[in-house]
Amino acid sequence: MRHARWRGVARRHTWWRGLATAVVATAGVPLVGGCGIQDSDVIEAGGPATVEAFLNRDADMLLFFRSPDGGLSPVIREVRPSAGFGEEYIEPGAVERAPSGPAGPAPTEKVVLALLSGPGEADRAAGLTTALPAVREKEAVKVEVSSDGGVTARLPLAVRALDATAVRQLTCTIAYNQVKDGRGVVTLRGLDGAERSGSCGLAPGTSG
Amino acid sequence: MITVPRPGRPRDEENERADGAGPAAPTRRRSRVRAFGLRTRLLAAFLLVAAVSAGTTSALTYREARNALLKTAQDMAVSTFRDQVERTGWRLPVEEEGIEEILRDLARTGKPRPWVVFAEYGSIRASSGENPVSSVITPELRRAATADRYGSFERVVKDGVPYLTIGMPTVFKTGPDSTLPTGLVLYAVMRMTDEQINVDALLVAARNGALPGLAVALVPALLAARSVLRPVRELRRAARSMGSGRLDTRIPVRGRDELADLADTFNESAGQLERSVGELRDAEARARRFASDVSHELRTPLAGMLAVTEVLDEDADRLDPDTAQAVRLVSAETGKLAVLVEDLMEISRFDARAAELNADEIDVAEAIRKTLQVRHWAGDDRIRTELPPDIRARLDPRRFDVVIANLVGNALRHGGAPVTVLLRTEASSSGTLVLVVEVADRGPGIPAAALPHIFDRFYKADAARTRSPGSGLGLAITLENVNLHDGTIRAGNLPGGGAVFTVEIPLRAEEAVR
């Protein structure tokens, strides 16, 4: 109705149109700003929080299992108890066998065997699983470190058939037990003669 | 202000317009408050400017204040939550047992307010509250925390209640320089009720600040409208005063603004107009005086000539026929010239407004009869009269005689017999009694084209008749005489043929029929 009246007075039309625009603008400014507290987008506020995980590089090993969302979750396991359900494999020469100084005391072969034996009770309670097949032969794991820092692991299973998660589980476990920061290329060689190499790449871009 | 009093007539017209004008004449409305008048427009413009500025300022201030308020709360919450999380320790894999204790500790120390803390690890879902999974945390925040591994926050409004949700993924050190994600993500959910109250208070304050601003804006708006409208009103009054003939109207010039310039220009133009009109009037007066002087100067020699031609007329019979004819022609033309000069002098007196009304109470029928008698038309059978007795009026006998003689003479000369002279009184439309004299003939009547000009000076209704026995001023003089009596005269044609002249002269109430 108001509009019709504006049209009726044609001479004033331009004037009224300007006024209407201004009024709309006036009313629009607060509306655009919004009243009260509005929803917001997801706003990034810094990196992740660094928590204490009680990792003792001299006594613990890091195993990587599959979490329900498809990613990898690191699990810290003491070497000694794990040896209980594995077999005694601590020999004095273990430290010497890891020539890259910073590597942990637990021999990488033993760590890989622990990984291959699957998630423990506590791991399963948290929903962690493994993508690796069960392995019977325990002696067939051999880890060699080449002069350029690359690691080659000989595994008692068919590497070609492993899926990506399984490969990453192995790669990360081996990498992090060889070097503290988990960098370096790991080559997996299986019974089937296939070779797959890669690096773990789990670490956040910037580290604490 | 204008010192000239308002003239009567335009005022009445204006009232009529104000009363009678409906939608038919919207442009001529003269009410003081108009829908789109200057005052309305100025007020609207001022209010608009005030509203825009107050609204914009309040809105911007409000927005900035609100954002600052929210930012402070959010930043504090995020940094506090990060600090708290970084003080916790977790065994990997995280065990469900005891996790709620840790979360409750976290929840108690929330800042600026306690929050509910949720933990997600593998398939474990735990919280410090009742539900292990929050319904407020959005998939986007979850993705930012799990996939992108960023500490992030998001405001979520659910059921009208605003929440701040913070997602914080955790990492642990594997060496002095390297970290590894634990897979544990902690979320904090905090109600922003206090912030909402503060923001609402801000909004109310902004609104309360803007409204008085609008009210205050009304004052300068009214003042500005007044300062513009007053000169405009004065100008309008002055223009109307000028229109009604008061050319000496001037407007007082105040200040140095554009309206003062306008008033100045108006005054200048009015002065020039007054001068021009004055010059025109002087010229017209000079022309009239000249005509009057000429006719005056002609009268004396003409009187001598008339006397001589009368003598020559009497002796014409004794002259030889050619000379006698010439003498009679000279005599007749001299007579006409004398009549013309008399008429010219008469009309000059009217033009100079020197004509006086020597009113006397007379019997109108008697006066008409006397006029006819003097002109030797009393016994004429071409003239019929209908003169009821006892109609008395205050008239100038000489001028009334001229009116009747002119009309009857005209009718006899140009119209056809019989000529009827009717006398009566009747009530006019305004209720006063008027004296009506009708002079009608049975001639061909007046051509329609000539009717509007019949009372003009020297107007000849019949163009072919070059030589008229009259001076050509008769009807003009008649009109002036009737006007002098406050009367009217009109010419028309009878339906059966013939011209009719109707003279109406108002009778004063006490001078009506006795």
Give the DSSP letter string of B288-337.
Answer: HHHHHHHHHHHHHHHHHHHHHHHHHHHHGGGS-HHHHHHHHHHHHHHHHH
Same domain, B323 and B430: no
Domain around A86 = 60-198
Q: What are phi and psi of B366, to 5 degrees?
A: -65, -40
Residue A4 — pLDDT band, cuts 50, 70, 90?
A: very low
**Which of the pair, B152 or B194, is modelled with greater confidence?**
B152
Query: CB–CB of A49 and B170 under 8 A?
Result: yes
Mutation for testing the A interface, residue in B67, B96, B156, B171 having most A CBs under 10 Å: B171
The number of folded domains in chain A is 1
Q: Say if B2 falls within a structural domain.
A: no
Distances (CA, A) of B184 to A75, B166, B223: 12, 14, 70
Rank A100-104, B148-152, B269-273 by mean pLDDT and report only the highest: B269-273
Instruction: For residue B385, give the DSSP letter.
Output: E
Nearest CB partner across the interface for B151, out of A38, A48, A67: A48
Q: Report yes or no: A54 and B182 within 8 Å, Cβ to Cβ.
A: no
pLDDT digits (tens, 9 = 90+) for B342-387: 888 888 888 878 888 888 888 999 999 999 998 888 777 888 888 8
Q: Is A45 on the interface with B (CB under 8 A)?
A: yes
Per-state percent for chain A, helix, strand, coil, to nearest 5? 35, 15, 50
Q: What is the pLDDT of residue A23?
A: 66
Q: Say if B454 falls within a structural domain.
A: yes
Query: CB–CB of A74 and B183 under 8 A?
Result: yes
Nearest CB partner across the interface for B153, out of A43, A69, A74: A43
Q: Say if B121 falls within a structural domain.
A: yes
Buried b (16+ CB within 10 A) or exposed e, B163-183: bbbbbbbbbbbbbeebbbbbb
Query: CB–CB of B178 and A45 under 8 A?
Result: no
Q: Say if A74 falls within a structural domain.
A: yes
Rank A137-151, B43-57, B386-400 by mean pLDDT and report only the highest: B386-400
Same domain, B423 and B327: no
Same domain, B325 and B419: no
Query: CB–CB of B59 and A9 under 8 A?
Result: no
Query: CB–CB of B122 and A67 under 8 A?
Result: yes
Nearest CB partner across the interface for B122, out of A40, A51, A126: A126
Same domain, B132 and B195: yes
The nearest alpha carbon in chain A to B150 belongs to A47
Q: Report yes or no: B118 and B110 within 8 Å, Cβ to Cβ.
A: no
Same domain, B336 and B452: no
Q: Say if B254 falls within a structural domain.
A: no
Q: Say if A40 falls within a structural domain.
A: no
Q: What is the pLDDT of residue B20?
A: 39
Q: Which of B196, B211, B245 is the last residue of a domain?
A: B245
Q: Compute the average pLDDT of residues B82-103.
A: 88
User: Does position B395 have pLDDT exceeding 50, yes or no?
Assistant: yes
Q: Which of B287, B316, B351 is the last residue of a domain?
A: B351
- Choose the weakest-confidence range: A135-144, B19-28, B67-76, B200-209: B19-28
Q: Say if B17 falls within a structural domain.
A: no
In A69-120, which ranges are continuous DSSP H helix?
79-85, 94-97, 108-116
Mutation for testing the A interface, residue in B61, B105, B178 having most A CBs under 10 Å: B178
Q: Compute the average pLDDT of residues A143-161.
A: 83
**Which of the pair, B331 or A15, is modelled with greater confidence?**
B331
**Which of the pair, A83 or B149, is modelled with greater confidence?**
B149
pLDDT digits (tens, 9 = 90+) for B95-127: 888 888 889 988 888 777 788 999 999 889 999
Q: Is A147 on the interface with B (CB under 8 A)?
A: no
CATH code of the domain covering residue B60? 3.30.450.20
The number of folded domains in chain B is 3
Q: Say if B160 falls within a structural domain.
A: yes
Tokens 């033309």 found at: B333
Rank A21-30, B320-329, B467-476 by mean pLDDT and report only the highest: B320-329
Same domain, B61 and B107: yes
Q: Say if A14 falls within a structural domain.
A: no
Query: CB–CB of B173 and A53 under 8 A?
Result: yes
A·B CB contacts under 8 A: 212
Mean pLDDT of chain B: 83
Torsion region of B467: left, alpha or beta (phi above 0 gives left; psi -120 to 50 gives alpha)? beta
Q: Compute the average pLDDT of residues A64-88.
A: 71
End-to-end CA distance of chain B: 53
User: Which residues on B lie below 8 Å from A29 (Cβ)?
Assistant: 55-56, 59-60
Query: CB–CB of A208 and B171 under 8 A?
Result: yes
Domain around B479 = 360-511
Q: What is the pLDDT of residue A25?
A: 65
User: Does position A156 have pLDDT exceeding 50, yes or no?
Assistant: yes
Q: Which of B351, B375, B408 is the last residue of a domain?
A: B351
Query: CB–CB of A62 and B36 under 8 A?
Result: no
User: Does position B474 have pLDDT exceeding 80, yes or no?
Assistant: yes
- Whole-number CA gyration radius for chain A: 31
Q: Say if B505 falls within a structural domain.
A: yes
User: Which residues on A lie below 8 Å from B142 (Cβ)?
Assistant: none
Query: CB–CB of B156 and A36 under 8 A?
Result: no
Q: Compute the average pLDDT of residues A121-132.
A: 89
Same domain, B131 and B223: yes
Same domain, B347 and B364: no
User: Does position B58 have pLDDT exceeding 60, yes or no?
Assistant: yes
Q: 3-class DSSP state for residue B87? A: coil
Same domain, B229 and B277: no
User: Which residues on B lie below 8 Å from A25 (Cβ)?
Assistant: 52
Residue B278 — pLDDT band, cuts 50, 70, 90?
A: very high
Query: CB–CB of A36 and B59 under 8 A?
Result: no
Q: 3-class DSSP state for residue A116? A: helix
Could you tell me what percent of chain A has a pLDDT over 90? 2
Same domain, B90 and B52: yes
Q: Say if A22 falls within a structural domain.
A: no
User: Which residues on A lie below 8 Å from B96 (Cβ)?
Assistant: 125-126
Nearest CB partner across the interface for A53, out of B51, B156, B182: B182
Query: CB–CB of A42 and B141 under 8 A?
Result: yes
Q: What is the pLDDT of residue B189?
A: 92
Query: CB–CB of B92 and A74 under 8 A?
Result: yes
| CA distance to partner chain B, nearest, from residue A190 (Å) | 27
Pairing of strands B499-506, B488-493: antiparallel
Nearest CB partner across the interface for A204, out of B62, B85, B179: B179
CATH code of the domain covering residue B281? 1.10.287.130
Predicted TM-score of the model (pTM)? 0.56
Q: Is A30 on the interface with B (CB under 8 A)?
A: yes
Specify which residues B501 forms β-bridges with: B439, B491
* Among the listed residues B101, B92, B121, the one whose alpha carbon sits nearest the alpha carbon of residue A54: B92
**Which of the pair, A140 or A104, is modelled with greater confidence?**
A140
Q: What is the pLDDT of residue B117?
A: 92
**Treating both helix axes as pointing N-terminal to C-terminal, what angle do B364-374 and B397-414 enclose, rounded to 10 degrees?**
60
Same domain, B382 and B506: yes
Buried b (16+ CB within 10 A) or exposed e, B414-434: bbbeebbbbbebeeeeeeebb
Q: Say if B26 falls within a structural domain.
A: no
Q: What is the pLDDT of residue A2?
A: 45
